[in-house]
Amino acid sequence: MFRRYSANHIILSILIDSIFVVLSLYSAAHLRPIFNEMKVVKEIADPVELQLGIYLISIVVWIGIFYYSSVYDIRNNERFFQEFSNLVFASSLGALILAGIMYLTYRNVSRLLFLLFVAQLIISTISWRLVPWVLIRLKLNGENSRSFLIVGTGKTGKDLRDRIVENPQLNLTFAGFVSDDNKSNEKIQDVITPLKELREAIVSKKIQDVFITLPREKFADVDSLVQLLYDIPVTIWVIPDYFSLVLQRAEVEEFAGIPLLNLRAPALKEHQVLVKRIFDLILAVLVAPFSLAVMAVISLILKIEGKGSVLFVQERVGQNGCLFNMYKFRTMTIGADLKYAGIGDVDEVDIMRHKLPDDPRITKVGKLLRKSSLDELPQLFNVFLGNMSFVGPRPELPWVVAGYEKWQHKRFSISPGITGWWQIMGRSDRPMHLHTEDDLYYIRNYSILLDIRILLITIGKVVKGEGAY
């Protein structure tokens, strides 16, 4: 959004990627004969001559996938981690599609040659995009920084200032606030001028971007402000003061030429939802044989221990507030739900209890299952059914959700998870209200790489038995 690149930059990016496709194919063709000496590799002719059609198909598929995956859309790449995630996704998809096309058309292309080509291409396309980020980190392009000021000194304006300042890759320099309230000028830091002197401040400080963040009751003044600046070469951004109403994320769409602000846009993009679901299903299939064997043993032990159902089925709140049945192994005595155990009480610092470390209702086997987190294995069925993911927000109880504040409902914008950011940050030791903040952090920063990181850390914590009871 703020990293302004023209159509020329997009064309240049496509051209550079196309060049790297050609160079990577050419290089792979000349590197492949080197591996003829290896016993596990089939010997091929030296040098390898690739047909023109292979080059053309590779360019079209690679660039097409990059375009489809929004690699060239700078609005989706405000941070390097976002750009890197998009590149990894697009490159993986491009490699799979190219492999299928090569298999159906040019079957003379060896598998090793293809792998060399893809590896070089991925490294190349990521490496050249690192250069701008490195330059920004080294502050070598500081002289090209754009100056901006914010009209309005309310919470929206201050939050915007903080987010921009925390992201140096945007290359924006904060000039100050323009106060819409003359009486509070002396109390607010960084106020450079009152509203009536806005034009003079823009010209004298060479401002290039103006952000209008007026409260809703003053939005009638926006029209007059825009008219005031009509003849000054400055970009005007209007930040609606409606974000306290946003449940997932806000998104601007266009209908019949009219811009519309969607306050309940999906938290994840369509391709992210698809990749996350595919990842869940693949992982579920891979762990199912081992998990089912362990579940069979645990079921037998629970049956031997005493009467009652092996599984504990409990209603939880899922994506978009929909209720679903979550499965766990029974770890408490029969009728535990009817026995008072201090759950739902408030402790000495006004934090609600949701688990007790020495709950008298937990059975001996149950303690072992909870300590090892094996009681959560049946949630694999929830993953297969699609009402849970391996990684996501905490699947909460309806009576807990009934006491939520409005902002906390944002956590239901994606499927709940068996584990999540909340768990690796402390598991059961964390106060209940902090789960929501952890979940919102996860939603804002979601990527498949973050899911993998959380799963790996979770395994470590489960092995150590940290924070589980």
pLDDT in tens, 398-457: 988 888 887 788 888 889 999 998 878 765 555 555 567 888 888 888 888 889 989 999
Per-residue pLDDT tens digits for 302-353: 888 776 788 889 999 998 888 999 999 988 776 666 555 555 554 433 444 4
Question: Residue 235 belongs to what H/E stretch?
Answer: strand 235-238
CATH superfamily of 145-241: NAD(P)-binding Rossmann-like Domain (3.40.50.720)
Global pTM value: 0.56
Provide the strand spans (E) within 275-347.
Answer: 311-317, 323-329
Question: Residue 119 belongs to what H/E stretch?
Answer: helix 111-137
First to last CA, the chain: 46
Determine the pLDDT at residue 349. Answer: 36
> Looking at the predicted structure, is the pLDDT value of residue 175 above 50?
yes
Tokens of 442: 């996860």
Q: How far is residue 149's CA from residue 132's CA, in Å, rounded to a whole number? A: 25
Q: How far is residue 245's CA from residue 241's CA, in Å, rounded to a whole number? A: 9
Per-residue pLDDT tens digits for 107-129: 778 888 888 999 999 999 988 88
Interval 362-380 mean pLDDT? 86
The number of C-alpha atoms within 13 Å of 136 and in the hemisphere containing its C-beta is 17
In sequence order, which ranges of 39-110 are alpha helices (DSSP H)? 52-68, 80-104
Determine the pLDDT at residue 350. Answer: 40
Determine the pLDDT at residue 19. Answer: 94
Determine the pLDDT at residue 454. Answer: 92
Per-residue pLDDT tens digits for 279-296: 999 999 999 999 999 999
Helix (H, G, I), strand (E, B) or coil at 272: helix
Interval 360-389 mean pLDDT? 87
Tokens of 6: 């023209």
Residues near 107 by beta carbon (within 8 Å), at least 6 away in sequence? none
Determine the pLDDT at residue 439. Answer: 85
CB 150 within 8 A of CB 108: no
> Looking at the predicted structure, is the pLDDT value of residue 20 above 90?
yes
Across the chain, mean pLDDT equals 79
Q: How far is CA 148 from the centre of its chain?
A: 28
Higher pLDDT, 164 or 39: 164
Residue linked to tokens 């690149």 = 5
Q: How far is residue 221's CA from residue 214's CA, in Å, rounded to a whole number? A: 8
Q: How far is residue 198's CA from residue 329's CA, in Å, rounded to a whole number? A: 65
CB 89 within 8 A of CB 125: no
Interval 224-237 mean pLDDT? 82
> Looking at the predicted structure, is the pLDDT value of residue 469 above 70?
no
Span of 160-164, 187-191, 330-334 with lowest mean pLDDT: 187-191
CB 336 within 8 A of CB 308: no
Per-residue pLDDT tens digits for 30-56: 887 777 667 666 766 666 778 888 999
> Looking at the predicted structure, is the pLDDT value of residue 188 above 50?
yes
Per the DSSP assignment, residues forming a β-bridge with 345 are: none
Residue 405's CB: how many other CB atoms inside 10 A?
Answer: 8
Q: Calculate what percentage of the chain has a pLDDT beyond 70.
A: 75
**DSSP single-letter state for residue 259:** E
* Spans of all domains in the chain: 7-137, 145-241, 270-464
Tokens of 172: 């924006």
Higher pLDDT, 217 or 142: 217
> Looking at the predicted structure, is the pLDDT value of residue 386 above 60?
yes
Backbone angles phi, psi at 261, to 5 degrees: -105, 110
Q: Residue 50: which region, alpha, beta or left (left: phi > 0; alpha: psi -120 to 50)?
A: beta
Tokens of 95: 């490699």
Higher pLDDT, 5 or 75: 75
Higher pLDDT, 168 or 214: 214
Q: What is the dihedral of CA 281, 282, 284, 288, to 10 degrees?
A: 130
Backbone angles phi, psi at 176, to 5 degrees: 145, 180
Backbone angles phi, psi at 226, to 5 degrees: -65, -40
Tokens of 187: 């109390």
> Looking at the predicted structure, is the pLDDT value of residue 379 above 90?
yes
Determine the pLDDT at residue 82. Answer: 72
Higher pLDDT, 112 or 256: 112
Determine the pLDDT at residue 220. Answer: 73
Provide the strand spans (E) within 84-157.
Answer: 146-151
